[in-house]
Chain A
Amino acid sequence: MLSPVLIPHPTSRWGKPSRGLDLSIVRNIVKTNYYRDSLQLLRLSEEAKKIEGVRDAAVVMATSTNKEILSKLNLLTSEGLSATPNDLIIAVFADSQHAIDHGIQQIEASLTRAPSGSKNHFQTIDAALQSFSGVNLAIVSVPGEHAKEIVMMLLRKDINVHLFSNHVSIEDELEMKQFAKSNGLLVMGPGAGTSIIAGKAVAFANVVRRGNVGIVAAAGTGLQEVSVLLDDGGLGVSQALGTGGGDVKDQIGAISTLQAIEALEKDVSTDIIVIVSKPPDPVVKDRIVNYVAQSTSKPVVTCFLGADPSANLPTIESRVSLTRTLHAAALETMRRSSVHTNRNSISMAPTQLFELTREISGKLNAKQRYVRGLYTGGTLAYEAIIILNHMIGNVYSNAPLKTNLKLPDSCQSLKDSILDLGEGEFTLGRAHPMIDPTVRQLRLIEEAKDPEVSVIMLDVMLGYGSHSDPAGAMCDSISKAQVIAKNDGRELPILAHVCGTEQDPQHRSDQIAKLRNVDAIMFPTNALMATAGALISRRDSISLTSLAELYRLFLDTSRGK
């Protein structure tokens, strides 16, 4: 496990800066059956890169994704390659044998260092609960196969659960949710990235004002976008409950979503209910809509992304609005609110957007005709696909609208492509791209090399849980991407949408300023960015009239007005 590898001519199709002709050394140390969570390892990796003499380093679980990324970073040796997913790899690249030894020694010391030892750290749930009475919420983020055992233990102790873990089987999810429901408790998740409960951000959530809008979302970044856009317009959130994407599958039947809707209906602080979801199974969508029609009395705004709002609907009362995008859901909620709102904060007239994109696309050459989206937010990626699909037709993705449009290889874009970098193939055994920008940094460089790309779109997610400076983390790669295009005689417009508020730890205005400083073009909503992406890539074939029709269908309208 100790043989070093000399690197004479490292090159990387992912755009890692070439190390040129040198005799630097990479070494991998494999620690078998050794677990640390992805965030601990991300932190260790960042610290390792700062060790004197170390030029690059990574500490990762040996999943296939991580080995692939190590390989693309020129940090994988045969020792690392043979490690299994239960093993941990320490990978160090340095200029000398001494620096390698020193680096590995430091990393191993950090690995074995005990946790902070705070009085608030416990080894078992029982010990924690014995010392800390009155717990009313648990956040669980263990590997998915271990989630059910822990969640059931918590439910038996009468504790509601926010379950962040992914890769939980549908059978486990059903068992947990049925048990929770029969005991009057809520399981938010699995795969619940965001909630705002009693005014506090849970997991990935933004700092938004408190108010009278209750949100239920089987779509984490959908919840974030809607709550942020409402905040922008002057509305606040009473409660926002993430239920996880699995909840709207046929096998689960929206157990948690219906519980949450009933609770918001009875919550005296909630005057309007917003329901956001990636496409539910049709039967489940009908079930939710029927429940809303028959068992609620408050105004309700729904956004079932990707579902045809006119299909199979019962007679809907005027208090229920059906929208097709997060943007429209936010606007419609503002329209229905009795509180004064500023809808202009997230609006852009079709003519204004048309003119802006004409100006941008005027600098492109004839070969540049495809749009690419590199998303960290899955729901935002989906919203972009829906808009692009309407405006330009087929859009490839690793999480596509139709199965025949699934990218054969997620590492290789095709024509018009939208990537959800939070999908399993990019995150197994490593931190989510909202925390760790590495995968997107590398991919942006790669996309910039494609002469047929006309425009690249990026979401930048702020809030608790996210990277402390997500815009800053992308700036270097944005500049490099633009230099690559320029050296090839092209312009490469980069569009960006910052999903966050001024009160978020990263401060929206600071993040926007950083992106503008590297010539990124900013949009107030993801839907407007996607619309701009379509207009730029198909600059000769989309008229102002067809843009106005898109606005009518996707950005402005609702049924049941």
Chain B
Amino acid sequence: MLLVDKILKLFSSDLKVVNIGLEIFKDELELQNVPVVQVTWQPYPKLEKEYEDILSKIL
């Protein structure tokens, strides 16, 4: 027996969305009057190899 009560609740509720990544998906939900917030995701800054090597020696 699978637990699907939370999924059924999603079906019957008004959507309220957090969008992480491509902003186009937030824009299209707004066009459909869905409440949505955007998280502007960025990858962690990547260290230059030489700094990474130095840090790995220190730590």
Contacts and interface: CB of A to CB of B under 8 A. Distances in A.
Contacts of A125: 18, 20, 39
Contacts of B32: 200-201, 464
A159 interface: yes
B40 A122 contact: yes
A499 interface: no
B39 A128 contact: yes
A185 B2 CA distance: 10
A37 interface: yes
Given A139-B21, A184-B5, A120 B11 contact: no
B16 A137 contact: yes
Question: Main secondary structure on chain B at its contact with chain A?
Answer: mixed
A464 B28 contact: yes
Given A125-B20, A197-B10, A136 B15 contact: yes
Contact of A137 (B10, B26, B31, B46): B10
A150 interface: yes
Nearest to A126: B39
Interface residues of A, number: 62
B14 A465 contact: no
Interface stretch (A72-80, A260-268, A315-323, A351-359): A260-268
A139 B20 contact: yes
Contact of B8 (A132, A138, A263): A263
Contacts of A135: 16-18, 37
B20 A258 contact: no
A132 B16 contact: yes
Contacts of B36: 120
B24 A198 contact: no
Contacts of A435: 24
Given A121-B38, A135-B16, A181-B2, A269 B22 contact: no
Contact of A198 (B11, B22, B26, B31): B11
B32 to A, nearest CB: 5
B4 A121 contact: no
Interface in A132-175: 132, 134-143, 146, 150, 154, 158-160, 164-165
Given A139-B17, A184-B4, A259-B4, A122 B37 contact: yes
A112 interface: no
B7 A160 contact: yes
A146 B43 contact: yes
Contacts of A71: none
Nearest to A153: B20
A115 interface: yes
Interface string A40-74: 10000000000000000000000000000000000
Given A138-B17, A164-B21, A263 B43 contact: no
B31 to A, nearest CB: 7
Nearest to A184: B3
B29 to A, nearest CB: 7
A131 B18 contact: no
Interface in B3-59: 3-26, 28-29, 31-32, 34-43, 45-46, 48
B7 A115 contact: no
B25 A139 contact: yes
Nearest to B2: A262
20 contacts: A39-B22, A120-B36, A120-B37, A120-B38, A121-B39, A125-B20, A136-B9, A136-B13, A137-B15, A141-B25, A164-B22, A165-B21, A184-B5, A197-B15, A198-B11, A198-B14, A198-B15, A200-B15, A200-B32, A267-B8
Interface of A: 33, 35, 37-40, 86, 115, 118, 120-125, 128-129, 131-132, 134-143, 146, 150, 154, 158-160, 164-165, 181, 183-186, 197-198, 200-203, 238-239, 258-260, 262-263, 266-267, 269, 435, 464-465, 505
- Nearest first, the 10 closest Cβ-Cβ pairs linking A and B are A141-B21, A184-B3, A464-B28, A263-B7, A263-B4, A141-B22, A184-B6, A142-B21, A120-B37, A132-B37
Interface of B: 2-26, 28-29, 31-32, 34-43, 45-46, 48
